[in-house]
Structure 1
Amino acid sequence: MGERSLILYHGTDSKILTPDLTKCNAYRDFGRAFYLSYNKGLARNWAEKKNRTQAKVNGYGLVLNNVEDGCLKIKRFKADEKWAKFVYENRTKEGYVRPDYDIVIGPIADNTLQDWFNKLDEEGLSFSAIAPKIRYEKFKDNQFAFCSSRAIKLLKWVECQ
């Protein structure tokens, strides 16, 4: 069987040959990780939000055979209550320890989801009270969070635009 691969994109303000987890923010959708998308335009949007004048998109090759060999702990989410709770815990809970995943794949949360999270804190609601009110069908774009150095070693830088 031949080698299968794909290109994933990371939007930022600089050229990143080798991702460094210590430089990644801990309070993101899936916790401290290096985030990528299969959609180059989406990565460009991330870069422009970070720094409009220095927006860059780095592309990384990923050999799928290396991911599929069973050596990595991969968690895949669909847009549902479990995903939203996981995002909530990663974004807001100080000291939250994410399970030991190498890669997390799932929908990209947005400000409307953050508004629901704010209601939890401001109004003292429980997560189970807001979960049925979230419109999960609107979360269509996926992101890939590379959470471990073992996973990041699989990424091979190929371009910066």
Structure 2
Amino acid sequence: MRLYHGSNIAIDNINLAMCRPYKDFGQGFYLTDIEEQAKKMAARVARIYGKTPIINVYEIDDDFKALDNLRIKDFGIQTTEEWARFVMNNRSRDFIDVKDILCNKDNKYDIVIGPVADDNMALLFRQYENEIIDFETLLKGMIYKRTSSQYSFHTERSVAFLRKVASKVV
């Protein structure tokens, strides 16, 4: 399986310490199986931080989900209540119950797979957190959102399964 990471630099060695915290699935290295999505992310990163948009291409064995030595949380492609709570907990600086199964701040999952919480989804989360909407309204707002996929790698053990294929200027 091919996975893509959009950036403004070529990444030959993944350094998890350089990854930002408070992301959808926690601090980790994020990729997608959708090349076009990675191109858009590369353009966004280059626009914000400068340099040239680059797609870093990696491969991982198709059967990686079946490996016993990896803890994988797979939400599939649909937004769900479980996914929403997981994303909100990981994004929140105030959420401190890291042992909760709906949180990955402690990297209890080596790899997490699921939809991306885009800017529209983030707005719904903020409205819920600020008590402008209730959870039921949040869930209803998620139903019609088109999502894209992300694969996040949170441990050195999981990153070791990625094989760098190429870095391409977009």
Does the 8 Å CA contact 2:59/2:162 hold for their aligned counterparts? Answer: yes
Moved more, 113-122 or 75-84: 113-122
Q: How does 1:110-125 map onto structure 2 within 5 Å?
A: 110-123=118-131
The answer to whether 1:155 aligns with 2:150 is: no
Counterpart position of 2:145 = 138
TM-score w.r.t. length of structure 2: 0.82
What is the number of equivalent residue pairs in this alignment? 155
CA–CA separation in structure 1 for the residues paired with 2:62 and 2:142 = 32
Q: How does 1:41-60 map to 2 (within 5 A)?
A: 41-52=36-47, 53-60=51-58
TM-score scaled to structure 1, two decimals?
0.86
> 1:3 aligns to what?
none
Retained in 2: the 8 A contact 1:79–1:139?
Answer: no
Q: Distance in 2 between matches of 1:65 and 1:101?
A: 17
User: What is the Cα deviation at residue 147 of structure 1?
Assistant: 1.2
Give deviations 1:78-135, integer Å, cap 9, x for gaps.
3111111111111123454334001100001111111112213333665x34433323
**Structure 1 runs not aligned, ≥5 long:** 1-5
Letter paired with 2:87: V
* Identical positions, percent: 32
Give the alignment partner of residue 76 of structure 1, picking from 60, 74, 77: 74
Structure 2, unpaired ranges of 5+: none
